[in-house]
Amino acid sequence: MLTLTYRYRIYPSATQEHQFIEWMEICRGAYNYALREIKDWCFGRKCLVDRCSLEKEYILSPELKFPGEIQQLNNLPKAKKEFPRVG
């Protein structure tokens, strides 16, 4: 089976390049924030209560639900109000 792919190159101006970099930074920040929420949730339940160090680890409330994709997408409007660069 033969698969053809096309490759396109763009040559942005300096202002366009700056705008692209700014958009990538915003996307990177939003992605890393969501990833940190998930990791905090997982690591907050990693050890048993009687074996955790209170100085180095913290335990999240058991009622706190897993920050799934739907919940994180529903939190985007609040993030846009808090952080105008996201909107």
Per-residue pLDDT tens over the stretch 14-51: 999 999 999 999 889 888 888 888 888 777 766 655 66
The answer to whether the beta carbons of residues 62 and 44 sit under 8 Å apart is no
In 3D space, the residue among 58, 36, 37 whose CA is nearest the CA of residue 49 turns out to be 58
pTM passes above 0.85? no
The answer to whether the beta carbons of residues 34 and 44 sit under 8 Å apart is no
> Given a cut of 60, is residue 55 above it in pLDDT?
no
Domain spans of the chain, in order of start: 14-80
